[in-house]
Amino acid sequence: MNVRYPKVSVDKKKLVYVSFTLDGKRIRLYNGRRVNSPIDPNRYPLEQRTEVGKVLASDTYKFLINGGELLPHRSNKQIKHKQTDVEYLKEALDLKLKSGYSEKYIKLLSYSYKLLEKACSGGKVSEFTVSNILSNYESGVSYNTIRKHIKVLVNEAKRLGMTSNPLEGIKPRKSTARLNRPFDDVGVILGEIQGFNTNLHLCSLLTYGCLLRPHREIRELCWEDFSQDLREIRLSGNRTKSGKNRIVPVPSYIREHLKFSNSGSIFEGFSKPPGYNYFKTLWGRFKETSISLKEGQTLYSFRHSGAIEIFKRTGSITKVQSAMGHSSINVTLTYLRGLEVAELNEEDMPILLE
């Protein structure tokens, strides 16, 4: 069957549909019922419909090229039975899997779904089910992480038609504030890392000097992400945590260590980005041999140290926000409080008049 890839369009009522030609006839689909797909873009908020429509286009194309017969329009045939909570959650997960999120995020969503699937009874997911799952996590961080990912699936499932809310009444757990320890002398620790591994050294430099996140934004860097003079890094929103495009200046002390090659990755010995745990593994090995590292210092400490340096030199929260790539000023304020950056100087404090 010769079928062109469906086109995603929006009608005058702002309803999203996919269109294609089949046997000389122009076909419009506003949902996936005729191609046995659960996708319905128009159940979503306006700003999300086009993206979901792209998923419907993909499902439609796969259905047709694999020999599927287009079901009759407004067929009396029962296409979809009344779904259970677990089926809605699986549908929500499948949609997320097609949406281009990071590998780590997808793994956590899939893991959270499996916990729900295993714990539920008769396809029904209740508040009691979720409470039992979360009771296995003593750490506030782990508890809140699993709760957050379950919430993502539940919210998506509710948009798809699930009527229950198993998270109702389950609040996040308060976590004790943890001090992210920056480096006292960045130069000393960088020198030690340079003698240990050149790729870890370059990653550390970029984390400090460009304030990019090491395990995705830096790990996935290719030469095409740099300007020709290597003075800027340009990342599209699907490569950043905030989802926004970023243009980051590259300081001269980093450019000195950039050795251009024809390989895709900027890291020596790799034609494509290293695996997700590459820098985590290197850092663990370095930590075992280091004589300079202190308790609580991690690869992210370079990012913390860079943020403090910018704030001390400029005193500008907005510049720190821009450099860090935070989605809002509130995120930056929370971040700086976590680093225990002083917001008041001695000169700001009350004076005693004699």
CATH number, span 186-338: 1.10.443.10
- Pairing mode, if any, of strands 7-10 and 25-29? unpaired
Ranking 41-45, 97-101, 206-210, 236-240 by mean pLDDT, the lowest is 97-101
Residues 240 and 105 sit within 8 Å (Cβ to Cβ) = no
Tell me whether residue 99 is exposed, middle or buried, using C-beta atoms within 10 angstroms of its C-beta: 0 to 12, 13 to 18, 19 or more: middle
Residue 28 neighbours by CB under 8 Å, 6+ apart: 17, 18, 19
Q: What is the pLDDT of residues 206-236, one digit of tens each?
A: 999 999 999 889 999 999 999 999 999 999 8
For residue 324, name the pLDDT band (cuts at 50, 70, 90).
confident
Taking all residues of the chain, what is their mean pLDDT, rounded to a whole number? 85
The answer to whether residue 245 scores a pLDDT higher than 90 is no
How far apart are alpha carbons 93 and 117 in whole angstroms? Answer: 12
What are the sequence ranges of the domains in the chain? 7-65, 85-160, 186-338
Residue 178, pLDDT score: 58
How far, in whole angstroms, is CA 126 from its chain's centroid? 27
The structure tokens listed for 47 are 């700003």
| DSSP string over 171-216 | PPPP---------S-HHHHHHHHHHH-HHHHHHHHHHHHS---III
Q: What is the average pLDDT across 247-276?
A: 89
Residue 186, pLDDT score: 92
- The angle subtended at Cα 269 by Cα 265 and Cα 270, nearest 5°, is 35
Q: Residue 70: phi, psi to the nearest 5? A: -65, 120
Residue 69, pLDDT score: 79
The answer to whether residue 242 scores a pLDDT higher than 90 is no
- H or E segment to which residue 56 belongs: helix 46-65
Residues 153 and 101 sit within 8 Å (Cβ to Cβ) = no
pTM, two decimal places? 0.57
Q: What is the pLDDT of residues 126-181, one digit of tens each?
A: 999 999 999 998 888 889 999 999 999 999 998 888 888 999 889 998 766 555 68
Domain spanning 85-160: CATH 2.30.30: no
For residue 38, name the pLDDT band (cuts at 50, 70, 90).
confident
* Beta strand spans in the chain (E): 7-10, 16-22, 25-29, 232-235, 246-249
- H or E segment to which residue 352 belongs: none
For residue 321, name the pLDDT band (cuts at 50, 70, 90).
confident
CA neighbor of 214 nearest in space, from 318, 137, 301: 301
CA neighbor of 201 nearest in space, from 290, 85, 272, 327: 290
For residue 76, name the pLDDT band (cuts at 50, 70, 90).
very low
Q: What is the average pLDDT across 15-19?
A: 93
More confident residue, 354 or 48: 48
Three-state SS for 307? helix
Residue 1, pLDDT score: 54
How far apart are alpha carbons 206 and 212 in whole angstroms? Answer: 7
